[in-house]
Structure 1
């Protein structure tokens, strides 16, 4: 994509969320890139099809049968009385099935990731993970949750970088910095506050021109935690995305340096992700 136009902009345009100069810039880009324009049109057709299929269900009143009796109240009693008087048919069972199916899909979307994260904690209880490895797994799960977000992948945008790093440094109780990965093809889009092993963590999100995203997660380790070299943790099983041909599954390189834990996660080839991790390490060492 041309500089300044990213996949997030195309999704926002397809959803009708852009206005003014930004909308005009995306429209100019689409006029010059028919493949991207076709993709946006396909997204809109999908959205319209979903609206046609599900809006009638969403606009129906909640069935009393789906609510606990204590929530029926006078309105519920009146609705039931009116239904008997008017000979109305009961609320269709298939709409309740659709609602249950939608909830199941949402649960499955995160269930694989959470199951992978908890596997070694609950699947027998015999494997004890080192602190760095636990942190890396949590960083991978965090990346799997936030990286696909188009509108809200971060809490504070890169345009407020000074505020972002001041805020995260204060919350973690240590001076942080934002590694510059532009020479490696990734620009900062922002960051957010996270949670790792019950404590605060800093999450910085980066994006390439093709829409690929990386997240760098940092947290204070327990005082005296031994430093480590670069180690790799892969997301496997149902929590991993289907790998792109020529790429490994989503993975994270992690290391501990002076009581600060680092985990760089993303869907890149091992060698390239390691190179990026080394750049982060060198910048934190002052060059």
Structure 2
């Protein structure tokens, strides 16, 4: 991907609106391009600046009174959308962000947090929700692990572990390519009655780690590392069901049971 292409996609990349292939391509390009990394940092700083609570201003009482006389009184929720900053402030924030960014190392530190960080959980939840949109869930549709596993060959630089857990109540229904923290990852899709379970996996360059569980926005996320791989399972099934799924996958994969 060239710089001109990357610049056109940076805003969508920041808002997590790209598909897996384009997201991975943009991340790869920025690893080698200081200019695009700096531009991305400027956008990220501006994005953060526009979300600051200090930008909100309460309307004067006189204006509120005129408005209430013109329209029926409606209860206003405590959490209000933040107004966007004036153009001058936005430009100043952008230039300040550009001055702070001096090397691609900043991009890696900002974009690649540790396993337990909130950013990883946020990306996984975003990817799970995006996958539930029409025609986003699966690239390969099959209940046969011997069909799903070979499909990834040549598309990733590792071979994912694919297990048929239908006997445990979690049938495999397919898989797809996705991206997490700029890595190309394998996403296996399982079902639990009417619920979808996404299981992400990619190579880990750190030692094995016990599972970590997080609950947010109605989703349960369970993460662990084993045998050189990093795994993240996410679903809106109840907590015990997802724990049972993880235990079944770990046992089938030959990993020690979770504690």
Q: Which runs of 5+ in 2 are unaligned?
A: 1-14, 18-43, 53-108
2:214 maps to 233
TM-superposed deviation, 1:218? 0.5
Q: CA 1:227/1:263 → structure 2, altered by over 3 Å: closer, same or farther?
A: same
CA distance in 2 between counterparts of 1:159 and 1:183 reads 12
Correspondence for 1:218 among 201, 204, 211: 201
Matches within 5 A, 1:101-120: none
1:175 maps to 159
Higher relative helix content:
1
Matches within 5 A, 1:20-99: none
CA distance in 1 between counterparts of 2:135 and 2:233 reads 22
Q: Is the 8 A contact 1:203 1:216 kept in 2?
A: yes
TM-superposed deviation, 1:170? 4.1
CA distance in 2 between counterparts of 1:143 and 1:266 reads 8
Deviations for 1:123-157, whole angstroms, at most 9, x for unmatched residues? Answer: 8999x9423545444222211111x3354420110
Correspondence for 2:130 among 129, 139, 145: 145
SS of the residue corresponding to residue 256 of structure 1 reads strand
CA distance in 2 between counterparts of 1:186 and 1:170 reads 27
SS of the residue corresponding to residue 217 of structure 1 reads strand
SS of the residue corresponding to residue 171 of structure 1 reads coil
Q: Which runs of 5+ in 1 are unaligned?
A: 1-107, 111-117, 241-248
Q: Is the 8 A contact 1:190 1:204 kept in 2?
A: yes
Higher relative strand content:
2
1:267 maps to 236
SS of the residue corresponding to residue 131 of structure 1 reads coil
Larger radius of gyration: 1
